[in-house]
Copies of this chain bind each other. A is one copy, B any other.
């Protein structure tokens, strides 16, 4: 599909800039994406700037607090063919979904210790990391990607880390965790402090982070108070989109966890009396409001809400004791988003 066809198909409406290495590219078609990827693949490892004392400082690797644990994960980043709507149908509007819907996604995948074997199929979001206050989260991260061959990272929100474990490409100021080249490994060590309690995104923050986060390089970290039980039903929902210029598909899909349209997006199930927590994280260019039919909840201020706003890499939590059986729709309440697939089922048994 050439650029003209893309634009007439609605691509380019959300055209965006990628700045990488020496280049700024306005991304309006897969050809522009290829150009950005080539720039990312050609980028040399940063030399490291050490003129400012801050950039020369050394930092100890954090240890768990007394009584805390090491929570160890093995995570690889790799591209996969990804079907946005494997059921082939929109169960809400009761229709077959026409047209292509498989893309090259870039995902974080869980592995067993030592990267012995993958744990389950690749998923979007990546594995949910959990910890309690006082723990450290240790992520052995491997760049397993063979096709795009560019440096990637893991940058976490909410948890505490020193600059070594920031996971951000910073040009000449980059530290080791900010540039994990193909076939390399890096171990991130993050602390779950009292100020880390909550649900947070992690995502690529390497040199090509914009494209790669759009492609699927994101996941969640959950930090609880020491000994706090998990809710009976807990679900993380990432709200995001695959614009045509990146996906190469002829149309825009709005997604929940990499899928579009009810029956493809997560179907959440609960029973009356259960404590339910649905954590919703924005992870595209857009702002969203999140609504669950038949339900409302207190936000952090104590106000009753059923359709709060959330922005990119912001989390809101819908938390309640279930008391209303039925088949309910959850969805982003921006009409174009819900109509392009950002909706799913919440099923409560009677």
Contacts and interface: CB of A to CB of B under 8 A. Distances in A.
A314 B308 contact: yes
A104 interface: no
Contacts of A340: 17, 19
A20 B93 CA distance: 6
A157 B161 CA distance: 37
Contact of A54 (B55, B207, B293, B327): B327
B324 A92 contact: no
A188 B304 CA distance: 22
Contacts of A46: 94
A30 interface: no
A172 B90 CA distance: 11
A287 B311 contact: yes
Interface string A193-206: 00111101000000
A163 B312 contact: no
Contacts of A296: 157-158, 195-196
Interface string A212-250: 011000000000000000000000000000000000000
Contact of A327 (B163, B301, B324, B325): B163
Nearest to A350: B57
Interface string A88-118: 0011111110100000000000000000000
B301 A348 contact: no
A46 B92 CA distance: 11
A26 to B, nearest CB: 6
A19 B327 contact: no
A333 B324 CA distance: 36
Contact of A299 (B168, B200, B301): B301
Contact of A95 (B22, B93, B308): B22
B309 A311 contact: yes
A348 B54 CA distance: 7
A311 B326 contact: no
Contacts of A304: 158, 195-198
Q: Which 7 A-B pairs have the closest CB atoms?
A: A94-B171, A300-B303, A163-B326, A301-B301, A309-B311, A16-B336, A289-B311
Of the listed residues A10, A93, A291, A313, the one surrounded by the most CB atoms of chain B closer than 10 A to its CB is A93
A17 B336 contact: yes
A321 B195 CA distance: 12
A313 B311 CA distance: 15
A306 B158 contact: yes
Contacts of A339: 16-19, 24, 210
Interface string A280-296: 00100101110101101
Interface in A324-350: 324-329, 333-336, 339-340, 347-350
A313 B195 CA distance: 28
A310 B15 CA distance: 22
Contacts of A334: 285, 311-312
A54 B326 contact: yes
Contacts of A172: 91, 94
